[in-house]
Chains A and B, each alone.
Chain A
Amino acid sequence: MLNVEICIGSACYVKGSSQVVQELNKLVEENGWQDKVEVKGSFCMKACQNKLGLGIRVNGKQLKGVTMQNASEMLKTEIIEALA
């Protein structure tokens, strides 16, 4: 099971991270990943302090430079790569 954690600490929430959760859920549905990908919420993962953009981890790997605009695309690429 691929573990995708999205930070819903206040700084990321304000930037729109809960929308990313909704987009990710849609992505999972569209690609039929329901049995392969688990979407989880996380408390602050300090991505904000380390200037990494929105806090997202795919199987423990911290993504860098995620914004609301590129989140969906980046997640798709990362998940496909991780599942391969």
Chain B
Amino acid sequence: MANMFSNDARTFKFDVMVQLARDAYSDKGVKEEEIQAWARNLVTLGGPRYRCCVYKEREVLRQRVRLAMGKMADDAAEYNPRQIVQVIDAACDGCTIKKIRVTDNCRKCMAKSCMAACHFDAMNMGSEHAEIDYEKCKECGACARACPYNAIVITERPCKSHCPVDAITWDANNISVIDVDKCINCGQCLNACPFGAIEDISWVVPVVELLRMKSKCFAIVAPSIQGQFDDASLPQIMKSIEKLGFTKCYEVAVGADMVANAEYQELKEHREAGVPLTTSCCPGFVNMLKIHFPEQYAKNKSTTLSPMMALAKKLKTEYPDYGIVFIGPCIAKKQEAMEESTLVDYVLTYEELVALFASRDIQPSQVVIDHPEDYPSNYGRDFAHSGGVAAAVMQACKECGDQPFTSVAANGASECKKQLLLMKFGKFNADILEGMCCEGGCVAGPGTINDAATVRGRMAKENKETDHKTITESLELFHTKDFDIHIQK
């Protein structure tokens, strides 16, 4: 398990989570001083060392522990359940402030094409190599493209270059700062930072405490959970989750089938009015609409609940005194569920789930399945991939014998932004815009523990063996055909 993560920072995060879960499952419970004392021993004078000294390493870990316990990374900051993605300021390297830099590949050549290429008179020839006057430089990159020696490099701070909504700036000490009024909690920066300096706040501790006290509780799992745990089948994964203490585990794909049908009904109205529809399942995309494209949010956004909320509403209607914990690949889902009181009580990621499994010595691939459960359609499960939502809505349309519609699948946050800009200026020509902030869809989410291509392959293999039911059959099987899942506007 130790080599599950490609980044050492995620291994530290995992180790902290496992220990927290062990404490929370034990009789003594979680005590902050104890877990902090334990974490201090993860880094010693002998290493491992990624930063200047052991004291800084320990401070980084201390902040990681705070986030893992559901506290703000910054001790002084007021608790803000809206801001899931946070900067661990001690871990931020304050990297690459200057976007364009001249390296020692520069040979002070005679052509000086960099100087010729610069439109802003910012390029000078110094005594050692070409030099940039940063007062004049507009960071256009023309010099870098012109240099025949690749001596000029363009490097942007990874968190900033990956942020689709320009929410990252830095303070006087070059430490990254997230503008909470702009941030959509998509988690792209968190994935991008090579220092693990941006992380999500976690609620593993209260979830385990509730499970330990045998509170009645359902787990609902996102479709992308299939194939995350090596050879374990979906029923094995779901059974493993029940072993953690959940009363029962349900597939959110059941809710996805409901959403496909409801969005198709909405689409019919939108098509008649000539107003394109945008999908509701990706919370990062919905945040982008809400914060950065308010007109489109009001006019184009589907009023159907997300699959997570749709299934939660169904379950809460039938079992009002049960808690609901969503387990998915997504960080923005934490905000969707936790920003205010909703039908979903807590959200965990796969990264947190695998820590819970490790703390209880549960190996999903070893779990025995005694009897098979009902399951939804493959269309619902395919909500995990880019293009899957539009395809499912199309299938719902086909099952009703209606005319096919046109769709655009915006794959990744920057593509979402581009399509929304087109829509804003009336240049979007399809009937439906499917938006997914993670490139490839939820299988590539920031909370996943396996690479998207592998997971996609495993999902396809497992789902080939299903009974290939239609969306209509799924709705009938789960009695969800007439269940209302519209947000009251």
Contacts and interface: CB of A to CB of B under 8 A. Distances in A.
A41 B341 contact: no
B440 interface: no
A62 interface: no
Interface in A31-63: 39-44, 46, 48-49
Contact of A10 (B203, B213, B215, B217): B203
Interface stretch (B165-173, B174-182, B185-193, B204-212): B204-212
A75 interface: no
Nearest to A22: B29
Given A10-B81, A40-B213, A44-B341, A21 B70 contact: no
B89 interface: no
B29 A18 contact: yes
Given A8-B209, A43-B345, 9 more contacts: A8-B215, A11-B341, A14-B70, A18-B30, A21-B213, A22-B29, A39-B213, A41-B215, A42-B210
B301 to A, nearest CB: 26
Contacts of B29: 18, 21-22
Given A13-B203, A43-B323, A49 B209 contact: no
B346 interface: yes
Q: How large is the interface on B (under 10, 10 to 19, 20 to 34, 35 or more residues)?
A: 20 to 34
A41 B203 contact: no
A10 B338 contact: yes
Nearest to B325: A43
A10 B346 contact: yes
Q: How large is the interface on A (under 10, 10 to 19, 20 to 34, 35 or more residues)?
A: 10 to 19
Interface of B: 29-30, 70-71, 79, 81, 203, 205-206, 209-210, 212-215, 217, 323, 338, 341, 345-346
B345 A9 contact: yes
Interface in A1-34: 8-11, 13-14, 18, 21-22
12 contacts: A11-B81, A14-B79, A14-B81, A18-B205, A21-B209, A22-B29, A40-B213, A40-B214, A41-B209, A43-B217, A43-B323, A44-B341
Contact of A41 (B70, B81, B213, B338): B213
A49 B338 CA distance: 14
Contact of B210 (A8, A11, A22): A8
A41 B292 CA distance: 39
A40 B341 contact: no
A64 B425 CA distance: 53
A1 to B, nearest CB: 14
A80 to B, nearest CB: 22
B258 to A, nearest CB: 23
Given A13-B70, A13-B203, A40 B215 contact: yes
Contacts of B81: 10-11, 14
A44 B206 contact: no
B264 to A, nearest CB: 33
The 3 A-B pairs of least Cβ separation, nearest first, read A43-B323, A41-B213, A13-B206
Q: Which of B29, B210, B215, B345 lies at the interface centre, i.e. has the most chain A CB atoms within 10 A of its CB?
A: B210
Contact of A43 (B79, B205, B215, B338): B215
